Amino acid sequence: MRKEQRVKKNKEFQEIFKKGTSFANRQFVLYSLKQDEAQPFRIGISVSKKIGNAVCRNRIKRYIRQAFLELREDVQDNHDYLIIARKPAADMDFHEVKSSITHVLKRGKVLKKSSNGKNDRKK
């Protein structure tokens, strides 16, 4: 993800927590906050130490970033997104993470068009 597509500052994270709307499934929590000015979407990722060691946490973050990279055409712009990983995410591979992220984005109604995970998989 490019620098302008990341939420990095604690102040920005707190604003999304307080003002944003949340949607969840078993593996992830999504906070979404609409921005006033026209800009591409930004993403913040939070993976707690309760989930696993540094290797496991970094793998989950890589999977989330890649899932958003592949879904970037379908995700609405002018939003800030905050993804919080839950414990079951530690045991998932990339395709499971992507389908779970797609599911939580659909629940939050932030996808531009419906995309099904079956066509995205390549074996």
The span from the CA of 33 to the CA of 89, in Å, is: 23
What is the CATH number for 76?
Answer: 3.30.230.10
> Does residue 83 lie in a domain region?
yes
Evaluate the CA torsion angle 7, 11, 15, 18 in order and state its sign.
Answer: positive
**Which domain, by its residues, includes 72?**
10-108
φ/ψ of 75, rounded to 5, equals -85, 135
32-48: pLDDT as tens digits = 999 888 788 899 999 99
Residues 44/82, Cβ–Cβ less than 8 Å: yes
- Tell me the whole-structure pTM to 2 decimals: 0.84
Facing residues of 30 across strands? 23, 83
Q: What is the pLDDT of residues 67-82, one digit of tens each?
A: 999 998 999 888 999 9
The answer as to whether 34 is a domain residue is yes
Count the domains in the chain.
1
